Structure 1
């Protein structure tokens, strides 16, 4: 008689292909490592280097760059201005983008596809080109001032170029498509029969929107708000073109340190602090959002 091999329970044998996911994702991981992680790490290391106006970057490590940024009221004002700019752009993107997306979702074909392309089409154009277009419109002799003067609304041109108002308007136009995309994704999951049921029970359209539609698209609004806030806080082209040299934000301040004063360590410290501030805001907002929705679903 031949001896039979002992039976092994399922799953107890050697696992095959355990490293396949890592092998398949290796090209993407290497690309992420080479294009994002390593440059950020080198920037962080550079921010600790000392700097001398005559000798340039020194090999000594110091915290003087961070102490200068954190202890100087000039940089405090720049960071506060950047936070206010990002918050204003986020609120305006939600204020105009959410109704725009709701109206767009109620359109019939082919108008819905046409207007969706019109709204998202600017993403195909360079942000520099769009910002230069706004600079032409906002000039003292631009189309906006000329139209307001012709209508008798104003007597003299309104200063929009090289002002915070102009930066907010242009940056809202640049970033609003990201809010529309996020809210659009939430609206696609919304069952229209739920809205019809609320109307059939005698609720007004405003009540149905406030009690039925809005709670279901809030995740999309909040997700779009996070994206818009992060992009607005780190925006460079629009604030530098519309705001000019006087109206500095964090990105333009870091740019000036890199290319004007050639103080690369200080510019790197500003960039790292901006990254940390963005991460803290996003993580804190996500934690608050998860806690709030966990409480809602537990109820």
Structure 2
């Protein structure tokens, strides 16, 4: 019902002062899609999602692989430690990153104290800071999804490949990576969707200088009281979600058919 209400609101006409005229018009869609500002917001949203997803997967994959393969009696504790950040609110963690990345934060103070730089490096109030903070915030989600998706990873296959003369790089490339790729794709889907719809971190770390769809929707609905435009932007965000699902589904099918083969074994 909320989605139906949003869809209906998108066809209304905004009036000055926050008033809304109940009608059925495509004028608001034309205004939004014809405005270069909103296209820049859409592009920056996708750019943020791609960057956060790539860095999150790169940092999470080794940790998830280690946790999935370890036979240590501390495995349960290690997994719990990996997901412990989820017990802390993302708002609190974002404020923590503001203190770390600020001009007077830990990073800049350390770099200046060891003589790397004389002036603070701009790590906050820009896209760089948002990517750094978002990557850390979404890493526990990626690690959990990857661990659960690494069920096909059988150590016996690795030992068999090694016995046939494959070195560690070849085993990683020909055995480990194909078997873990479905879990990586699922983790990438989750992180990308979360980063597309993220509001708190872009708002706080971005300092009002990083415009994404979530912050733009909030500003249009709450600050400008332009609910039809906010509804149109919400539909655009839903369309992006749909495109991501389509791409993910095709990639998953490609992995199953071409890389893993019909029976789920490396081809």
TM-score, shorter chain, exceeding 0.5 = yes
The aligned counterpart of 2:82 is 119
- How far residue 55 of structure 1 moved from its aligned partner, in angstroms, is 6.3
Distance in 1 (alpha carbons) for counterparts of 2:137 and 2:251: 27
| Unaligned stretches of 5+ residues in structure 2 | none
Q: Which has the larger radius of gyration?
A: 1
Residues 291 and 104 (structure 1), Cα distance of their counterparts in 2 relative to 1, 3 Å cut: closer
Counterpart in the other structure of 1:23: none
Equivalent pair of 1:186/1:216 in contact (CA under 8 Å):
no
Distance 2:6 2:49 in 1: 24
Please identify, of 276-285 and 249-258, the stretch whose mean Cα deviation from structure 2 is larger. Answer: 276-285
- Deviation per CA, 1:25-67: give whole Å up to 9, x if none: xxxxxxxxxxxxx111111111111110146011122112211
Q: How many residues align?
A: 262
Query: Does residue 261 of the first structure (1) align with residue 248 of the second (2)?
Result: no
Report the Cα offset of residue 86 of structure 1. Answer: 0.1
- Residue 292 of structure 1 and its aligned partner are, at CA, apart by 4.8
Q: Counterpart in 1 of 2:191?
A: 228
CA 1:215–1:57: 2 relative to 1, 3 Å:
same
Aligned to 1:165: 128
SS of the aligned residue for 2:21 comes to strand
Structure 1 gaps, min length 5: 1-37
Q: Deviations over 1:183-239 (max 9, x none)?
A: 111334321111111222222111111111110000000011011111101110110
Listed as ranges, the matches of 1:60-71 within 5 Å are 60-71=23-34
Show the 5 A alignment for 1:56-95. Answer: 56-95=19-58
- The range that moved more, 189-198 or 40-49, is 189-198
The 8 Å contact of residues 91 and 201 in structure 2, kept in 1 or not, is answered as yes
TM-score, normalization by structure 1:
0.83
1: CA distance between counterparts of 2:191 and 2:201? 14
TM-score after normalising by structure 2: 0.93
Cα distance in 2 for residues equivalent to 1:188 and 1:121: 22
Report 1 or 2 for greater relative contact order, CA contacts < 8 Å, sequence distance ≥ 6.
Answer: 2
The match for 2:91 is 128
In the alignment, which residue of structure 2 is the partner of 1:286? 249
User: Alpha carbon RMSD of aligned pairs, Å?
Assistant: 1.6
Matches of 1:54 and 1:225 in 2, distance apart? 42
**How far, CA to CA, are the matches of 2:230 and 2:249 in structure 1?**
29
Between the aligned partners of 2:109 and 2:73, the Cα distance in structure 1 is 35
Match of 1:189 in 2: 152
Residue by residue, what CA displacement relative to the aligned partner does 1:60-111 show, whole Å, maximum 9, x if unpaired? 2211221111111100111000101000011001111101111233444343
